Structure formats: C-alpha cells, structure tokens
Structure 1
C-alpha cells in the first residue's frame, strides 16, 4: 500500500514534480477499496483523499471548511477585533472599525455566537443575537479572513426569527439564510437571499410551512441554482416533501424528483452535490431505538433529470457519539471517487471501515482531462501553481462560472 506521503510545501520557483496517486478507471459504482479506519492514513493519498481522522477532537480538528461546530469566534471589544480559533496553528484576528455597524450593535447589547453560521473559502459568516423583553434580534457579520476585514453585515428582516441554515454561494456573491418565523399568523420556513457586497436583502422564497427543508447550492451555477429537499408545492395539496432543483434567479422549479420523499423521511437529512455537480445526494440519518447505532441511507440522483440512479446504506455509531461530518460522503480531489464510512459488528468485534467507490465516468472530454490532471496531483490547491490561464485553473479547481 505504501507509506503516507508528506504534504507539499509551497514552491518558490521552477517546476513541481507530481505523482499519479489514483488507480485507473474501473466499473461505475464498484467498491474498489474497503479497509479498517486505522490503516487508512497509509493509503489515503493513493486514492486522492489526503489526511482524514475519524475521531473528531476539538483541539486537533482539521475540517477547515466542512464542520462549523468547531469554529470558535469571540469578540475583543477593547481591541475592536473578532478572534477566530479554527485553523490548525493559526489564530485569526479580524478588526472591525469604530464606524462599522458592528460597533454600535455591541453597544446596543448584541452578543456574538461562538459557532459560525457558514464558511466558503475565505468568507466566514458569523452570527450575532440580542434578547430584549422576549424579543430577539439577529445580525450576521460576513468577514474575509484573508483580508482581515468585515465585508458586510446582514440583518434579519424581522424580529423573533429562528435561524435554521446559513449558506454562502459557491461564487461567494450571495449568502442565503433559512429562517423559521411567524408572519401575520402563519409559521413558515423562508429562504432569504442577501448580497455579500452590500449586505442588503435581494429576495426571499417560502420553502415550506410544516416540514423543515434542506438546501444545497449547485457548484456549477455560481449562485443561481439550488436543490431543495422537503419543498412545498403551493399549487398542489399534500406535496410538502418534494425534492426539486430551484432557480433563485427565475424563482421557479426547474426539475422534480421521480421519488416521493415521504418514503425516505428520517431523523436528519444531509443534502449535497458531487464535486462536479453531476449528482445530487440525499442522505437520511436515523438513530435506532436506543441511539446506539445510526442507519445511513443515501440516494443518488442525476441532476439533469433528478432520476434516482443509485442507493447506498451504511451504519455508524449513534448520532450522539460521532461528529455528523463523519456521516457525509467525501469526494476525491479529482471528483471521481467517493469515500463512505461503515460501522460493522461481527460477534464481539466492532470495526469502522473506509469504503471507496468509483463514480460513473464523465463522457465529455474536458471533464476527462480534468480528472487525469488532478490524478497527477496530491492537492487541488496546487492547481494555482500550474502555468495555465486563469479560466483553465478555475475549471480544474471546480470553481463555478458566474
């Protein structure tokens, strides 16, 4: 299997030598690797996944842009800075100016939540709240940790709104916040769209009145297209569990799934796209009766028509024992391999195994070339060092087209 490779250092000059780390293409959806989690670190680079730790410990958590639970943000009001503990070996200090809205918010009694709302590359969306005579107010500072600056401040459109989900679009131009609130006597889940540049509200759409929805941005569209699980079709009765592709720019449903979500309702959902945006994965997590184990069902849909093409099921320790990040499927650097975890009990022996599956091969030449190039590299981040035009670099690093 080979030894674990050391991480690459930033080059100073000249060419960099890369080594092929992935095997050739095999049959679609084939299980090409299955092994215990303990020796996984010795073979991870071979499949293009890099480092990975199963047990999530806050002091050593390295899921930089995946797990929001371990982003710790505090405010130093004496120095007028946000301090963020998240990145290994690096503490971020982001100043806010005296004339900034944030300064006046702290003066009016706003407090900063310790956990971030969303992250996308260099952008981090923080959450601030204020309780005043049973009336709650919310604000969301958007910071750029590379520039060490506050980009804008998003404000909740009304009082007494509950934050359900925050997201930053792949092209980083907008942020969406799903609220649950009562408006004119009606409770609903509403998705508000904010401009990251100005912080102003651009639009909103009501997703559901009864069942919590889940959304995911299409990585190919920049900011215009999202997938929604548990979408409510207001034109028909008893259709509050649809899986749809929705256009934020046109404010209409583009595609509907051929599988009713009523048969796959679970305790918790994860909704995500494959790296190249060809597949939409709906993951259902269900604890067993005693919370000892969790059943993980994953449904793979083709994005173009939302037809169900594949189903996987695995099992892991219960949701209260393992960080939720461990349940999500992870894709290789080139996007053509998928990693799942499975927890198996054989008599008195328990083991967590790592499983690697081969995704279907993209037919177009551009995607095949991208796959081959990325298979010669240890990290997608190394694309920026290649002597290529910016558009080709963006394509190789799965950067969406605005």
Structure 2
C-alpha cells in the first residue's frame, strides 16, 4: 500500500481542468492557433493549459491547426451497439447500407447496427454470410488497415481478420463453444501487427471468470493463455515494443486497485502500482479504459462516474459525469498526475469518444472535451504533456512540431529513422 507521504504527493499533483484557464482563446482564428501554440509550448510547464476553444471552433480548424489529426470528439452512437470501445462509427465514417440484397434475407427480420451492417455488407464474403451463416456482431479491435471482427455462427463466437487496404477477408480464428455478448469481449492488436490479445470468458469445464488469449495473426494460432483474477481487467500494448509488453489493470491477485506492467508472452509482472484510484478500493465499475501516450512514456487511466446518465445528457437538468484521467509512468507505473473535468455524457451507454483524450501528432499535447457546470457549451482544452525519455525522443517531438505529418515519410532520412518519427515500435 502507498505510504502517507506518497498519498500526499498524489493529492498534490491533482489538477482540475478548470484551474488552468489563463487567457481567452475563444475569438482566435485557426491561423493564429499554431503560432500561439509554438510560443507557449517552449516556456509552459507540463500540464499547462495551452489552448481553449469551443467544440465548433475545434472542428472548424483549431484542432487541425494545433496538429491533432484526430479531431472527432463527440459521437451519438451507443457503445456495444453502434460503436465498440475500439471502433467509433463517427470517427471511421460508417453509414447505414441497404440490406435488401438476396443473400441477406436470412437476417431480414433482425435489427442491425450500423457497424455490423457495414462490415457484413462490404467485407464478409457472400458465401460466408449466406451459406455458412456467419454474421458480424461488432468490431473487436482495429489498428491501421487491420480489423478484428466478432463473428457469430451457429451460436458460437469466432474472430475474423480483415485487411481494409486490400479489401480482403483473411480468415477466422479463436473458435469458441458459445456465443458471447459484445460487452464480454475486449481485444487489441500488438503495435507491430503480428499478434492479437483478447479477453473473454473462459469456456473450460469448471472454469469461472475470464482469460487472456494471445493469438498469432499470420497463422491464427493460440500462443498462450492465462486466467485472470478479476473479470474487469483492462489492458493495452506498450507502443515502444513490437508485442512484448502490456499495461494491465487488476492483474495481480488481491490487487484490485492496481496497474501492472507485464512482459509477454511469459506473463511476468515487471512493476505494479497498487493504488491507482485514490477514492475506491476496486477499479470496477469506474475505470473505462487505459491507453499509452504516443511515445509510450505515459499511461492514462480514464475513470468516470458510474451508472447511467442518459437523462442527464438529454435534459442537462442534473449534474454531468465526473471524469478523472490518472497519469502513470510508462516504465515504472508510478502515479504522476490527475486531470479532472465534467462532461454531459452517459459513461455507461455513450461512445467512449465523448470523454476520452486525444493526442497530437507530436505526442506532446493532450486534448479533452468538457463542460462547465454553468453553461451547456462544449469546450475543448489542450494541455502540454511532460516530455520524457532520452534526447532522441525530444528531437522527435521538435521535428514533428516543425513538419506536417504527410511530409515525414518524404524527408531525406534513413528508413529506420523515418519509422521512429512515425512511432513505429523498435523502428520497424
């Protein structure tokens, strides 16, 4: 357990988003955002507020001017129906499709989700849908042009691999004995694209709880499996390594409020922080997701007010949800910081896009969308992240702040250095 001095240090690092409003950027045009950002970023301390604007201004140029490629910060989709934790229909531009074709007649009476419709219509071969009776339940995870689908056939869950670039269905793996609901599954593709780690309920006779299963995507074979002590464990691959390290919550026995760094595929625990949440002994149900910064030196754990807040979001007559972003050292799992803010969204049913942070192309800035209690206007705030790591990483940040993302691969530099600038693991 953390010492009293350690708890005081963690409380001292807390900062609400509303505590750092220095100046009003609301009237600033998109052309002035970049100049203002570059001026402040040199002298500002870590976690300083660099920019604030309305969500409309963010969408109309402020986000792109601040070097954020991902500027979609809201989505009306329902998680596990229209969206999944790893795939947003709004960010990925999926639309409803016409399902009147003959080979979809066997499901004509079913209610489709937009995401399942899109992939079943555009990417699943017709013979799999019509003859072998496969249908899509959801997108389990995605990375680049590779998408892993949750498929169901004859009341049994399976996983399918799609290469979006080649528009090709690559095959099926991980056949299960029963059909799982989307909420029971979580998956992630390794940074090098070679493996996929899936959390799912165990199907072994006499088994109870959940397991991690690690698959090799090229051969679609199961590499290793481990039983979990807690069903609500969440995980994410470290982007600095090909597939050899993950961060995972509640992985250690009797440590339900913990964050561990685990070496793969041996499942060896490298380091554990036994006190992630300051206010609760368990991370369930408040913890929604964990993710790494682009350079892998920081880990972000996003926790929200539990329960359904759909009525509050619609009427805004009640209190919004409280969002807390805990920040940890990517090498030691030590607690570094916490940002807290308010958001009119339902953390149980709304897409995670509505309250999750996004990161700039250079990886040194974080943006969040939030609400003031006194106004319903959606605001976006950009914070400076601490620059960690060696001189090489610091040089990468400066280069990415100086050149647009589309020009990086055209720079007259060796291939391995180009890959490093593009955050490829181990400079692949």
Shorter-chain TM-score tier: 0.7 to 0.9
1:50–1:193 CA distance, 2 compared to 1 (3 A)? closer
Mapped to 2, the partners of 1:182 and 1:95 lie a distance apart of 26
How much has 1:65 moved relative to structure 2? 11
1:215 maps to what in 2?
235
Matched, 1:315 2:342: yes
Mapped to 1, the partners of 2:200 and 2:95 lie a distance apart of 23
2:19 maps to what in 1?
none
Which secondary structure does the structure 1 equivalent of 2:211 belong to?
Answer: strand
Identify unmatched segments of 5+ residues in structure 1: 6-17, 97-101
Give per-residue Cα distances to partners, 1:288-321, cap 9 Å, x unaligned: 7855221111110102211101011111013168
Q: How does 1:85-96 map to 2 (within 5 A)?
A: 93-94=122-123, 96=125
Matched, 1:390 2:415: yes
TM-score by length of 2: 0.74
Mapped to 2, the partners of 1:229 and 1:264 lie a distance apart of 10
Give per-residue Cα distances to partners, 1:95-125, cap 9 Å, x unaligned: 75xxxxx956863433222x32211001011
Greater percentage in helix: 2
1:51–1:360 CA distance, 2 compared to 1 (3 A)? closer
1:361–1:72 CA distance, 2 compared to 1 (3 A)? same
On the 8 A contact 1:161/1:181 being kept in 2, the answer is no
Which secondary structure does the structure 2 equivalent of 1:147 belong to?
Answer: coil
1:14 maps to what in 2?
none
1:64–1:331 CA distance, 2 compared to 1 (3 A)? farther
Identify unmatched segments of 5+ residues in structure 2: 1-27, 78-82, 105-112, 313-319
Matched, 1:186 2:207: yes
Matched, 1:240 2:267: no
TM-score by length of 1: 0.79
Matched, 1:333 2:361: yes
Give per-residue Cα distances to partners, 1:19-74, cap 9 Å, x unaligned: 9974432211111222322222332233211462444367xxxx999634555798
Give per-residue Cα distances to partners, 1:367-400, cap 9 Å, x unaligned: 1211111112333x43222222211111001011
2:216 to 171, 180, 195: 195
Greater percentage in strand: 1
2:63 maps to what in 1?
44
How much has 1:154 moved relative to structure 2? 1.2
Matched, 1:122 2:122: no
Mapped to 2, the partners of 1:93 and 1:321 lie a distance apart of 27
1:77–1:256 CA distance, 2 compared to 1 (3 A)? farther
Give per-residue Cα distances to partners, 1:322-354, cap 9 Å, x unaligned: 5321211111110001111221122xx322211
On the 8 A contact 1:21/1:376 being kept in 2, the answer is no
Task: State the superposition RMSD in angstroms.
Answer: 3.5
Mapped to 2, the partners of 1:276 and 1:397 lie a distance apart of 10
On the 8 A contact 1:66/1:325 being kept in 2, the answer is no
1:68–1:248 CA distance, 2 compared to 1 (3 A)? farther
Which secondary structure does the structure 1 equivalent of 2:409 belong to?
Answer: helix
